[in-house]
Chains A and B, each alone.
Chain A
């Protein structure tokens, strides 16, 4: 497989996804994974702890290291040098890079300026494909990716993890249900991609009716700043909060995922149940990102 960059999940084939997940499983089970003399550049123009640390851990476990441009405030991006310049500078210091940026399309553009593998670590309200790989890895472990019924809940408009996951799932035999307030439903371009991928887009404003059908409930955060006023936000956030009472009608096998960080959309009491897989999901980021880095570096060397 010769893959240079990872910008969206739409460009990944089912075979590529399966190869990465299979390799991640081997790594998780203790297989040797080693890239000597490997330096991963981290270029984050938005705050992030998990994605950044997870890539750093992955690089180090592969016997490599990271060069980190440090946290760059989004506001200073506007005044400072162009992204095109930043990536060309960082390219000279590393063998592959991860870019997070507040603007949609940033990673796609960056690939026009560098010759080393580039991973989209999140571009605004666009995509976050490496998160999807660990989401899929976690789902596969507990359920399998075919014959799956999944509910994706929360901010579907701006949620980049949602866009990447939903697009990737079109490559599998998965029934997807999208649950959100009207104002935060899937954007037109993602619905277009899902239709193109052969998926039926089923949208709901409440989860009651479909909850009993679900194998997986993927919860995302609804942010205060998406709403004009506090009251509207509170009423919506309350409506989509997950607790034991809400889950009363769910299948016994339903698992709950969340890309984290969470605020209060999942009751902490759920954490203690077998349904809660979000911390495991987060830990899976390391073997999955090791497998991804290995694949991209194989392609470039």
Chain B
């Protein structure tokens, strides 16, 4: 067993998110709304050498099984991420993140004169395009640096 496998398989119950784009793990946590105050054990390995990605991050979230819907939004910043659901130290389910058709409340619109950035009671919503995302209100297309437009947690 390689050292890498040890690192990702050692939790008893929970979710292991592997193959996260190097350096994006804190953004992944922010999208998932996990900040450590929930009390569950959380481990992060950042910039681990990876054959496929060069550098990757690995997250282990104990005692929480993330749903496909929850993890699909991660595809926007970590398109190669794999999700391992662990029970009794065994990976019982392994899946790739898939691009959702739209995301709500995850990103804010980069257009400062968009109606969603003016204190109206609406949640920013983006349609997901083959490359990038598009504000469902003003139509602005966002392709690069999506992580810079993550909505501030409220």
Contact = CB atoms under 8 A, between A and B. Distances in A.
A72 interface: no
B137 interface: yes
Interface residues of A, number: 22
A105 B141 contact: no
A108 B136 contact: yes
A189 B120 contact: no
6 contacts: A82-B121, A84-B122, A104-B137, A105-B114, A109-B115, A193-B139
B143 to A, nearest CB: 8
Contact of B121 (A84, A104, A106): A84
Contact of A109 (B116, B134, B139, B141): B116
A109 B119 contact: no
Interface string A89-104: 0000000000001111
Interface of B: 109, 111, 113-116, 118-122, 134-141
Q: Which of A78, A105, A123 has the most CB of B within 10 A?
A: A105
Contact of A188 (B114, B120, B122, B141): B141
A124 interface: yes
Contacts of B119: 82
Interface in A112-147: 112, 123-126
A192 interface: yes
Nearest to A190: B139
A193 B115 CA distance: 20
B139 to A, nearest CB: 5
A83 interface: yes
Given A83-B118, A102-B113, A109-B137, 6 more contacts: A104-B111, A104-B140, A123-B138, A124-B138, A188-B141, A189-B134
B121 A105 contact: no
A248 B109 CA distance: 46
A82 B118 CA distance: 9
A104 B141 contact: no
A103 B138 CA distance: 8
B113 A125 contact: yes
B120 A104 contact: no
A84 B120 contact: yes
B137 A108 contact: yes
Contacts of A82: 119-121
